[in-house]
Amino acid sequence: MLSNRSRYALRAMVHLAGLPGGGPATIGEIAEAAAAPRKFLEAILLDLRRRHLLVSKRGRTGGYALAAPADRISFADVIRALEGPLALAPCASRTAFGPCETCPDLDTCPLRPVLQDGRDAVAAVFETRTLLQAAAKFSPIDPVGDKAPT
C-alpha cells in the first residue's frame, strides 16, 4: 500500500510539474496544492531534494522546483525515492535484489515467479506514468504556463 508520505510527495511533484519550468514554488504553496501538513511536507521535500528529484533555492524568489523536466520523472522515481523498491519481496526486486530470509532456495521457490509478475505489473504502470502526464490531466495551468480556459 502506498504511504501517506508518497501520496503527498506525488501530489506535490505533480503540482510542480504543472508550473512553468517545473517551479519554483514555496513550501506553503506546495502544501496547499498537495493538501498536506506543511511540517510533514517539509521533511518529504528535503528527502526528494537529497534524492535529486527536486532542487531548492533560498530567498524571496526561491522555493522548490523539479530537478529534471516533468516528462523525465516517473511515478516510480518518486515512489522508489521514498519507499524503496516496488517489489513486495527482495527476491522479486530489480533495483534491490536479495534472497528472502525465509526462502531456502531461490530457484525452487513457488512464490518468487508470482512476486516477480506483480512487480512487473506495478512497474509497467508507475514507470510509464510521468509527472507531466498527471499535471496535464489535472493542472489548471497548461504546459506553456497560461491559465487553462474555464
pLDDT tens by residue, 6-56? 999 999 999 999 999 888 999 999 999 999 999 999 999 999 999 999 999
- Give a three-class secondary structure readout of 72-134: HCEHHHHHHHHHCCCCCCHHHCCCCCCCCCCCCCHHHCCCHHHHHHHHHHHHHHHCCCEHHHH
Amino acid at 138: F
Tell me the three state secondary structure of residue 63. strand
Look-up of cell digits 509527472: 131
d(CA 22, CA 64): 9
Confidence of residue 137 (pLDDT cuts 50, 70, 90): confident
Confidence of residue 94 (pLDDT cuts 50, 70, 90): confident
Whole-number pLDDT of residue 147 = 45
Whole-number pLDDT of residue 71 = 96
Asked if residues 33 and 15 have their Cβ atoms less than 8 Å apart, the reply is: yes
139 vs 26, more confident: 26
Whole-number pLDDT of residue 82 = 96
Whole-number pLDDT of residue 143 = 45
Distance, first Cα to last Cα, the chain: 35
pTM of the model: 0.84
Whole-number pLDDT of residue 61 = 81
Look-up of cell digits 506543511: 38
